[in-house]
Amino acid sequence: MTDTEIYGTDYASTGFVSSDGDIGLVSELDNAEQAIRNRLLTRLGTYPSIDDEYGSEIHRVLGEKLNNETISELEVYINDCILDEPRVYEITSLEITVMDKDTLRILLQLQLVDGSELGFEEVINTLG
């Protein structure tokens, strides 16, 4: 089975447009990363007619004081969300760093279902 068969191809959610004016596409591991980011950054319940379990609850920490309790909550929300993604086998590393009073950096290392590894960073402004 090829990476495209496992991870698919989809429209680029970044707004990328090809040189001939077509909407850009992402495939293989790039599509897996895009799908995981989109799930993480989408509020749980946004698409109830499609999948009411799609998304995350990380929005619950927006506007909250960043402390050990909110970081622990965020870890649970991220774990629940990422492990619901069918392309993910396991989370090998999750690091949340408070960059300043309103900004978090999330570093994720994942093992995907075919054994591939994927890592990425997401910076979130907690003011919403």
CATH of the domain at 117: 3.10.450.40
Q: Give residue-wise pLDDT tens across range 59-84.
A: 998 888 888 998 999 999 999 999 99
Return the pLDDT at 2: 54
Q: Which domain holds residue 22?
A: 3-125
DSSP three-state, residue 101: coil
Edge-to-edge strand ranges of the sheet holding 88-100: 88-100, 103-112, 117-125
Q: Give residue-wise pLDDT tens across range 85-96.
A: 999 999 999 999
Report how many domains make up the chain: 1
Residue 126 has pLDDT above 90, yes or no: no
Q: Give residue-wise pLDDT tens across range 50-64.
A: 778 899 999 998 888
